[in-house]
Structure 1
Amino acid sequence: MPEAPRLSLRVLATSDVHMHLLPHDYLTGLPSPRFGLTRTASLIAARRAEASACLLLDNGDFLQGSPMGDIAARPQSGRRSAIHPAIAAMNALGYDAAALGNHDFNYGLRALRQALSRARFPVLAANLRMHQGPARWTLITRRIADQHGARHIVTIGVIGFLPPQTVDWDQDLTGAIACDDIVETARTALPAMRAQGAQIVIALAHSGIGALEPSPRMEHAATALAALPGIDVVIAGHTHEVFPGPHIRAGPGIDPIAGTLAGKPAVMPGFGGSHLGVIDLDLTLAAETGAAPALRIAGYKVRCEAVDPALPGLAEVTRPLMRAHRATRRQLGSRIGRSAVALSSHLTLLGQDAGLRLVCQAQRWHIRQVLKGTRWQDVPILSAAAPFRAGGRGGPDHFTHIPPGPLDLRHISALYAFPNRIAAILLTGSDVAEWLERSASLFARVPAGARDIALLDPDFPAYQFDVIDGLRWQIDLSRPARYRVDGSLADARSRRITGLTFRGRPLAPDASFVLATNTYRLASCGLFSPLVRDRPVLVKSDLLCRDVLRAYIHRRRQVAPSDLPAWRFVAQPGSSALLPTSPMAQPQDVLAHAAECAGETADGFRLIRILL
């Protein structure tokens, strides 16, 4: 019996590039050693050259995430008629296909369609229902030589998915699009793809690595998706993690050493061009009666390769970006006002963040103007905001530090990184207390007398940690978290928030408050959804929060927000916790607690020991 033909196929993958196209940090005005697709492009070129057959795929969130993306999406930018810089870079790299991510919808459908109109590769979203939307899947053919030199035409199916919550996160999309369950969509689509000739199927899942067993409308569905018969390879994303790698824990269906989900080869290549996913497939081709030859995966090697900061950018990808780069830098240099104090997020997770307070002040100012003359004008206004640049998966450079002095447009982007829109909702005092309780779930439990406990829950992103300006409170870390990051109750008996006061008096549970926030917080899913459901929405605007911030600073010309913390941890003598923060942070800067330096982490964060 003759030996079955054996073929080799390399799959290269990027994900969550977030408009980090060049190795430049627009928020600091300095070169970036960590990010930049043009540098990743050099690694892509090298890995392509090693393979006889190769696919290059992207897994979504490529249109939003840096000021270049913000400016490219503005109608007044003059760039709407030009090719979008992300698409120009991806065309130059010769991507074979890309999936849409949830953040690609942040600027609205018109901007999305305009950007994608010049793409020379198929853009995919199988679980998206949208008029004149992207394709659900695509079939890619390759002529690949076997071990004897004979060439075979093979057909690879590539299908894309995005989180079903996308429509909820961007409220202005309601009614214009719908997103279905990822796993259920795949069950329906896979037989159709096979019937059209797909011999293997690669899933571009803009979705995190979650439970093996599917649940309705799960956000992190990559593992459950991989378990479906008919899925051969999974590219995961959305959570900005690196897989395979040591930071994702092993679990049912998850092997972070072998790089498999439900036994299928899988990668998640970081974000911002930090890593390149590489999957080498060893395929066998066997004839089947009455059907196209069956292509089976006989073996695989999976890795996520970090991009060396010393790697130069690829010239043919860099060149088409330079005009947009220069325009972005020029616009970001526009002067807005001045700050009399430093605006730093180094200690934001200890309540010290003058920049966050400035955002809260601007939101309150705007909502007060909007409600003037309405029945709500005399209701006290509180203001909630979360830190967007607080380390985490963004690394030790992912903090804001603006020295006293001039404030330019780039500083506004640093203080408010996402294109959220201003909103306001009517809440009771008990609602407000519960809002803070949900935020306090960011912190790990520190039992009495425990030493050097990691302060933060690594699965809880800082952008879910709302601080409400206008109140005072304490957080009791000896008690377990009341909520999980998905908003479900973890311990119904536990409450961490104590001593909550408004204007020096205990907060009345039945008191009425207007909470200035953003439309992302009004989503019907996520951590805060039970608190916004059925509550009166007083303001829901198309105005971006960062534009509110810019108007507030411009009107005042000089601002001087305080970084005195509105909250502190309840004293626990003999207990301590470790906060990972910027290498620029100093223990003596901590105001509410005694603190000392406790070294550095392997990935470059400074550890500050908080003496509770």
Structure 2
Amino acid sequence: MPSSTLSFQLSRRSVLGGIAASSALVALHPFAARAQANQAHLRIMETTDIHVHVFPYDYYADKPNDTLGLARTASIVDAIRAEAGNSMLIDNGDFLQGNPLGDYIAYERGMKEGDKHPVISAMNVLGYDVGTLGNHEFNYGLDFLNKVLAGSGFPYVCANLTKGMLASDAKKDELFFKPYVILEKQIRDGSGATSPIKVGFIGFVPPQIMVWDAKNLEGKAQTRDIVDAAKAWVPQMKEEGADIVIALSHSGIDGSGQSERMENASLYLAGIEGIDAIFTGHQHLVFPGPKDFDGIAGADAKKGTLMGKPAVMAGFWGSHMGLIDLLLEKDGNSWKIISSTSEARPIYHRDENRKVVADVKDKPEVLAAAKAEHEATLAYVRRPVGKTSAPLYSYFALVADDPSVQIVSNAQSWYIKQMLKDGQYKDYPVLSAAAPFKAGGRGGAEYYTDVPTGDIAIKNVADLYLYPNTVQAVLITGAQVKNWLEMSAGMFNQVKAGAKDAALLNDGFPSYNYDVIDGVTYQIDLSQQVRFDKDGKLINEDAHRITDLKFDGKPIDPLKKFVVVTNNYRAGGGGKFPEIAGDKVIFVAPDTNRDVIVRYIVEQGTINPTADGNWSFKPLPGTTAVFESGPKGRHFAGEIKGAKIEDAGDGENGFAKFRLVL
């Protein structure tokens, strides 16, 4: 390094707040290095979708994992702050639920007044400035959430969660939380002088929590459209003196066109006058990035802007730290943004052999904050509850009848038949709908259920059923059963007869919306177009992917009534399946699906999870299709009932590629 540059960096370090000397010099962000006397660099850092992953540990696999953990993300906070002239730290929601540590606290230990939740204790170590709420914050109920947030050392904001009915004017809504905060911060400019800046933060949650968590929120809360809420509150933030307004949007990026109560509204939120920068999340993707959001008008995935404004989405489970860097300039007594950059900085990379390599170490203080609860969770998840006579895995859950989905369906059917045996629905035939939750995708090449033959512990049950949904049942017709399956078949691309190695899976279709319905038999004709779009709208009236649909060995009667057991998400309209909504619900259980699975295994003692092969693809002679799954699936490819699956080499990002012979 030339001596002039060395001298400049050392002097800058001194000017910018006495950053502690270390063996290596910190590379300043260009904004910090070039800020003039009336200019200042402000870096805002984001964590999002932590889902209780404090430790770099996979509780389901019961082993360390270098791709996740707030303790890892936290270890780079000090260095990232040191690169900046001035910095702030925010969390963008979904911190409270998502792994057995969260469930252990909610269901085993509980939260008494004055208790500190381990994820909050860990976050308090890092000195967050503000946070917002994600949809999963409501999974354990409002009382639990309030006890958790009481221990937070920083404020939470949410502008679109109301108590009861919506007011005629959003600014008259009675909110659970402050819609925004305006934080006054002393920032140092390029000359070393300090002066105040007022930074406003406003938060948003997906309106769909009223569907996804109706059991916890119905009659207690309501949600307003994200963009509508922002239009009401952002002008008031400016009137109160906010120099810049930052949106904390636990909502993803969807370029399909603005609509009422959008789940992923961040692109259109960024278009609101007065919002200067936007932090996004919820989708578990990375922005800016190489490909997740290419081709969306208004979203620049290279520059990291939405509607021309700086934006970032920082992955999930602590995989990235989101950074928005702002070069500010003094304009009279206020500040304005004159330039910006965005970055999602990862905590790991893959080497030339595609193996995960950690780029950072743990921050000991964060581990210490949750150590006792982490160890208690390990004991919690290791408790045996029964045995399995065959392995449980989900490597091929999207392409063939699957043991990990089969056992969920078996447990649900067993439970609902007991619940309804003496009631008015006792004589209706029972079907069971279940979907694979751990099926690779955004979770990565190791994100699959894999339970060997032998003991089943609680950790394995949580692995089989990832979310704390509750059991519900709906009463629907045979025709509606068929349409349910037609909607599920959106998981697959259309494959023309005779095609060679066609792409099989629709990457935009979530695996948790791919329901298999047990109790009927059917085939899926991939040569047909999809019948419904992602919103459940009929788009191809003549398309029928579901063929040979039978109940009790006979073609299903379109008018016959069936009880279908599922979860509260699907029964309440989650996934927008045609005609499946709250008005069809006949039974609301007090039990979670996971609790039901545990009870089923305990009663059975030893379970047989072998898939019954009730569905398959309609043969298309001379046709093959390819898909990706975890490399460990190679051990099971030859054992799949009703499907011929071949190894087709390596895929991307650690996945293996497989060929389905149709």
Check 1:460–1:213 CA distance in 2 against 1; reply closer, same or farther (3 A cut): closer
* Cα distance in 1 between the residues matched to 2:411 and 2:135: 27
1:67 aligned residue (74, 92, 100): 100
Residues 559-586 of structure 1 show CA distances to partners (whole Å, capped at 9, x for unaligned) of 0121243211112223221111111012
Deviation at 1:77, TM superposition (A): 4.4
User: Percent identity at matched positions?
Assistant: 41
User: What residue number does 1:85 align with?
Assistant: 118
1:22 partnered with 2:43 = no
User: What residue number does 1:590 align with?
Assistant: 640
TM-score normalized with structure 1 length? 0.96
User: What residue number does 2:20 align with?
Assistant: none
Does the 8 A contact of 1:19 with 1:63 survive in 2? yes
Q: Secondary structure at the match of 1:267?
A: strand
Give 1:274-285 correspondences, 5 Å limit. Answer: 274-285=319-330
Paired AA for residue 319 in structure 2: S
* Cα distance in 2 between the residues matched to 1:212 and 1:280: 28
User: What residue number does 2:594 align with?
Assistant: 546
Deviation at 1:538, TM superposition (A): 2.0
* Cα distance in 2 between the residues matched to 1:77 and 1:101: 21
Q: Secondary structure at the match of 2:580?
A: helix
2:206 aligned residue (140, 159, 163): 163
User: What residue number does 1:99 align with?
Assistant: 132
Does the 8 A contact of 2:400 with 2:643 survive in 1? no
Does the 8 A contact of 1:523 with 1:529 survive in 2? no
Does the 8 A contact of 2:461 with 2:597 survive in 1? yes
Give 1:368-407 correspondences, 5 Å limit. Answer: 368-407=417-456
1:186 aligned residue (230, 251, 257): 230
* Cα distance in 1 between the residues matched to 2:501 and 2:535: 27
User: What residue number does 2:246 align with?
Assistant: 202
Residues 317-360 of structure 1 show CA distances to partners (whole Å, capped at 9, x for unaligned) of 11011000011011112221111110101110123321211111
Paired AA for residue 36 in structure 1: G
1:605 partnered with 2:655 = yes
Q: Which moved more, 1:488-497 or 1:542-551?
A: 488-497
TM-score normalized with structure 2 length? 0.89
Does the 8 A contact of 2:159 with 2:179 survive in 1? yes
Does the 8 A contact of 1:72 with 1:79 survive in 2? no
Paired AA for residue 342 in structure 1: P
Paired AA for residue 126 in structure 1: A
Q: Secondary structure at the match of 1:384?
A: strand
Moved over 4 A (4+): 75-81
1:455 aligned residue (504, 507, 520): 504
- Aligned residue pairs: how many? 604
Does the 8 A contact of 1:522 with 1:529 survive in 2? no
* Cα distance in 1 between the residues matched to 2:257 and 2:493: 27
* Cα distance in 2 between the residues matched to 1:360 and 1:526: 19
1:530 aligned residue (579, 600, 618): 579
User: What residue number does 1:432 align with?
Assistant: 481
Residues 6-45 of structure 1 show CA distances to partners (whole Å, capped at 9, x for unaligned) of 1110011111111111011111111112111100101222
User: What residue number does 1:154 align with?
Assistant: 197
Deviation at 1:375, TM superposition (A): 2.2
Give 1:311-390 correspondences, 5 Å limit. Answer: 311-390=360-439
Residues 119-155 of structure 1 show CA distances to partners (whole Å, capped at 9, x for unaligned) of 0111111111137722211112221122222222101
User: What residue number does 1:257 align with?
Assistant: 302
Deviation at 1:523, TM superposition (A): 2.1
Q: Secondary structure at the match of 1:526?
A: coil
Q: Which moved more, 1:306-315 or 1:467-476?
A: 306-315
1:271 partnered with 2:304 = no
Deviation at 1:588, TM superposition (A): 2.1
Deviation at 1:59, TM superposition (A): 0.7
Residues 164-212 of structure 1 show CA distances to partners (whole Å, capped at 9, x for unaligned) of 1111111111111111000010000011111111111110101010137
Does the 8 A contact of 1:4 with 1:284 survive in 2? no
Q: Secondary structure at the match of 2:418?
A: helix
Paired AA for residue 145 in structure 1: R
Give 1:282-321 correspondences, 5 Å limit. Answer: 282-287=327-332, 293-308=333-348, 309-321=358-370
* Cα distance in 2 between the residues matched to 1:79 and 1:331: 19
Does the 8 A contact of 1:344 with 1:401 survive in 2? yes
Deviation at 1:504, TM superposition (A): 1.3
* Cα distance in 2 between the residues matched to 1:39 and 1:397: 19
Deviation at 1:404, TM superposition (A): 0.6
User: What residue number does 1:10 align with?
Assistant: 43
Does the 8 A contact of 2:160 with 2:204 survive in 1? yes
Q: Secondary structure at the match of 1:55?
A: strand
* Cα distance in 1 between the residues matched to 2:94 and 2:482: 34
* Cα distance in 2 between the residues matched to 1:589 and 1:75: 38
Paired AA for residue 91 in structure 2: D
Residues 213-235 of structure 1 show CA distances to partners (whole Å, capped at 9, x for unaligned) of 53211111000000111111111
Does the 8 A contact of 2:401 with 2:615 survive in 1? no
* Cα distance in 1 between the residues matched to 2:541 and 2:281: 32
2:518 aligned residue (465, 469, 494): 469
Paired AA for residue 594 in structure 1: K
Q: Secondary structure at the match of 1:358?
A: helix
Deviation at 1:527, TM superposition (A): 2.2
Does the 8 A contact of 2:75 with 2:362 survive in 1? yes
1:239 aligned residue (279, 283, 295): 283
User: What residue number does 2:617 align with?
Assistant: 569
The alignment yields a C-alpha RMSD, in angstroms, of 1.6
Does the 8 A contact of 1:357 with 1:562 survive in 2? yes
2:628 aligned residue (558, 565, 580): 580
User: What residue number does 2:265 align with?
Assistant: 221
User: What residue number does 1:290 align with?
Assistant: none
* Cα distance in 2 between the residues matched to 1:499 and 1:51: 63
Paired AA for residue 154 in structure 1: I
User: What residue number does 2:75 align with?
Assistant: 42
Paired AA for residue 261 in structure 2: R
Give 1:434-513 correspondences, 5 Å limit. Answer: 434-513=483-562
Paired AA for residue 599 in structure 1: G
Check 1:208–1:502 CA distance in 2 against 1; reply closer, same or farther (3 A cut): same
1:124 partnered with 2:157 = yes
Paired AA for residue 588 in structure 1: G
